[in-house]
Amino acid sequence: MIAEVNAVTFRQRLGEMLAHVQYGGDTIIVTRDGDRVAALIDSALFDQIRALRSRFDELCGVVAAGYAGTPETEGLAEIDAVADAVRHGR
Q: pLDDT tens, 18-54?
A: 999 999 999 999 999 999 999 999 999 999 999 999 9
Contacts of residue 63, defined as CB under 8 A and 6 or more positions apart, other chains included, come to: 79
- Cβ(3)–Cβ(26) below 8 Å: yes
Q: What is the pLDDT of residue 24?
A: 92
Determine the Cα–Cα distance for residues 70 and 35; give it in Å rounded to an integer: 39
Q: What is the mean pLDDT of the chain?
A: 94
Class of domain 2-41: alpha beta
Regarding pTM above 0.75, the answer is: no
- pLDDT for 8: 96
- pLDDT at position 90 over 90: no
